[in-house]
Structure 1
Amino acid sequence: MIPVLSRFLAGALLAALSGLATADCPRIVSQSPYISAALDWLARGHCIVGVSRYDTRDLPRTGGVMDPDAEALAVLDPQLVLTSNWAAAEAMQKVVPAGARLLQVDGFASLADAEAMLRRIGEASAVADLDARLAVWRRDWQAAAAAVGGQGRRALVLSACSAMPYSFGRGHYVGDAFAAAGFVVVESAPRLRHIRPGEEIEDLLSAVDVLDPEVVFSLDRKDAEQCNALLGLLPVPVIHLDGANFFHPGTGLVAGFAELADKLR
């Protein structure tokens, strides 16, 4: 039995949140920042009533991708819970409130997968002009990619501003994006390679030696205190880009290509 005070607080919270989602969209919980970014791009950001602990927006927290908070979800009374397919479907079904729809998406496998992710989220959140939005996005990113002019240069694409650097292969959205911009992505791992001691490639110098790129692209995180020191010692050009345009599939791609073209000029 829920205590009277707890019931009162839950009711008060729901009343306070009632204005966040309007009649034209469902009450949505987003369990990942990249899903929140997709909802913003789809003009469904105002439908979000709860977010994961990793999100920066000022909304109630509902745990993480792998450990959602069942009590927080129940209080928010969502109609749609969106999360990554990294979480086990059976575990998610146990914590999603009765009557709420659970939708798990990916988006990180390729550009086509990113578009499929945007479409699934758009359909689930009742975006009326979804086809038109996706058509414009596809046209714009293809034009922006063509303007980059990679010219078949061998490229190593890294995220080196975290605890351990990793590189992107063609089986990842980022690798596919750089291939679309005209580069030959040299990473041979199918999706991601973690570069760290004890692995086949132990550091960034070894990565350049083994994979033989003509240029290295570093996707930087604004919140990172520092990037890997070896970036400054690599014997090939290193071009730094705003990682935020690539870490969230689809939503920042046009801006990412525009910055890439500008840096190459």
Structure 2
Amino acid sequence: MKTRLLFLFRTFLAGLLLAAGPVAAAGDCPRIVSQSPYLSVALDWLGRGHCIVGVSRYDRLFDTLPRTGGVMDPDAETIDLLGPDLLVASNWASEETLRKVLPAGARLLRVDGFTSVADAENMLRELGRASGAPDVDVRLAAFHKEWTAAAAAIRGEGRRALVLSACEGSPYSFGRGHFVGDAFVQAGFDVVETAPRLRHIRPGEEIEDLLTAVETLKPQVVFSLDRATAAQCSALLGILPVEVVHLGGENFFHPGAGVLAGYAELAQKMKR
């Protein structure tokens, strides 16, 4: 009896999940579960947004689709009920964790994209090929041409730059081994953060606050990447003894084609 009730409940839940969002058209593309928000953004740019049938709890782009757990703690039962052909995930989650929730017959793609702009290109290419996106190589060739031209037009001219996220939670800065830091290097800036990828700026760390960061790293300009949802920025930004330039962080936080909008805003700010 219990087994029968469980079967009926799972069938009912599956119906609810599938009704919550559009179903990928058979023959057009695989059914995809995207286990990280930046991968959803990338798939949408690749023209495969309509293939996505489930997303992580952090996803804001596809807010009507079923939730499949977190980036690091995927929900095996929900993923199984959605019956994906392809599970795409960040390599922040271990392959062992992802294999445990991968339904029989489904493919797994773990990608990065966060180490550089070139790495983001590779991530887009892998996603495009795995999802059967049309003309992915042509699209990526055009993207490469556009972002390199946009970066060159900014003319950072070697200015020492500290790139921060300081408007939500504890501040942190981006190094050259992170997509954000590399994006500013490609635009001609000398990114001064010495940590390879990220540095958390908070009490108890090597650099405890923003004033100390500026005194230690000696930037000529500070770029603050601001989230649209942030309630307020660190008060210390207003008293830093260097120029502070605010930019929309959403254009940089998701590695991929959004950097074009980021570069466009950066070019406008630099003209001023």
> Is 1:9 aligned to residue 15 of structure 2?
no
SS at match of 2:105: coil
* 2:45 counterpart (41, 62, 77): 41
Task: Give the structure-1-normalised TM-score.
Answer: 0.97
Q: Which runs of 5+ in 1 are unaligned?
A: none
Maintained 8 Å contact 1:17/1:49: no
Mapping 1:107-122, distance limit 5 Å: 107-122=113-128
Change in Cα spacing, 1:7 to 1:196, as seen in structure 2 (3 Å) is closer
SS at match of 1:50: strand
Matching residue of 1:229? 235
Q: Hey, what's the Cα distance between the residues in 2 that align with 1:19 and 1:248?
A: 24
Maintained 8 Å contact 2:21/2:66: no
> Is 1:104 aligned to residue 110 of structure 2?
yes
Matching residue of 1:217? 223
Matching residue of 2:263? 257
> Is 1:25 aligned to residue 29 of structure 2?
yes
SS at match of 2:161: strand
Q: Hey, what's the Cα distance between the residues in 2 that align with 1:231 and 1:18?
A: 42
**More divergent stretch after superposition (6-15 vs 197-206):** 6-15
Change in Cα spacing, 1:200 to 1:15, as seen in structure 2 (3 Å) is closer
SS at match of 2:12: helix
Q: Which runs of 5+ in 2 are unaligned?
A: none
Deviation at 1:187, TM superposition (A): 0.5
Deviation at 1:19, TM superposition (A): 4.8
Q: How many residues align?
A: 265
Q: Hey, what's the Cα distance between the residues in 1 that align with 2:139 and 2:91?
A: 24
Matching residue of 2:210? 204
Q: Hey, what's the Cα distance between the residues in 1 that align with 2:198 and 2:18?
A: 44
Task: Give the structure-2-normalised TM-score.
Answer: 0.94
Deviation at 1:10, TM superposition (A): 4.0
Q: Hey, what's the Cα distance between the residues in 1 that align with 2:57 and 2:240?
A: 36
Maintained 8 Å contact 2:174/2:199: yes
Change in Cα spacing, 1:222 to 1:19, as seen in structure 2 (3 Å) is closer
Matching residue of 1:141? 147
Q: Hey, what's the Cα distance between the residues in 1 that align with 2:244 and 2:109?
A: 39
Maintained 8 Å contact 2:32/2:84: yes
Q: Hey, what's the Cα distance between the residues in 2 that align with 1:43 and 1:125?
A: 10
Q: Hey, what's the Cα distance between the residues in 2 that align with 1:154 and 1:89?
A: 38
Matching residue of 1:193? 199
Maintained 8 Å contact 2:18/2:82: no
C-alpha distance after superposition, 1:88-113 (max 9, x if no partner): 11111011111111111110001111
Q: Hey, what's the Cα distance between the residues in 1 that align with 2:232 and 2:150?
A: 30
* 1:248 counterpart (249, 254, 265): 254
Q: Hey, what's the Cα distance between the residues in 1 that align with 2:239 and 2:195?
A: 23
Segments ≥4 residues shifted beyond 6 Å: none
For 1:68, the aligned partner's letter is P
SS at match of 1:209: helix
